Amino acid sequence: MKDYTDPDQAIYKIDGYDEAIIGLDQSIEPRLVYDIDKIIEIMVTTEGLSEEDAHDHMSYNITSQHIILVKLGKLKDLL
């Protein structure tokens, strides 16, 4: 994870997962927002992990970082 230092704030970014960035949360401190499904997809296709291993890797190594992870879905699937 890199620390992109702005004169005012640092924004943390996960190396290799730029395609999974879906936004920036600026509520208290700036944090990147990532799509969980896209992170898993990147791990499976580029790192050769199974989906289960990718979920395990993400839960142990990524979820504790200074970022926001969200699961996107279709509205009909959420209702």
Span 10-69, pLDDT tens digits: 777 888 999 999 888 877 777 888 888 899 999 999 999 999 999 888 888 877 666 666
Q: Tell me the C-alpha to C-alpha distance, in Å, between residue 51 and each of 19, 20, 38, 44.
A: 18, 16, 12, 6
Sign of CA dihedral 53, 55, 58, 61: negative
pTM for the whole thing?
0.71
Q: Tell me the C-alpha to C-alpha distance, in Å, between residue 48 and each of 26, 43, 52, 64, 70.
A: 34, 7, 12, 23, 23
Cα distance from N-terminal residue to C-terminal residue, the chain: 35
Model confidence at 1, pLDDT cuts 50, 70, 90, reads very low
**Cα 76 from Cα 55, distance rounded (Å):** 24
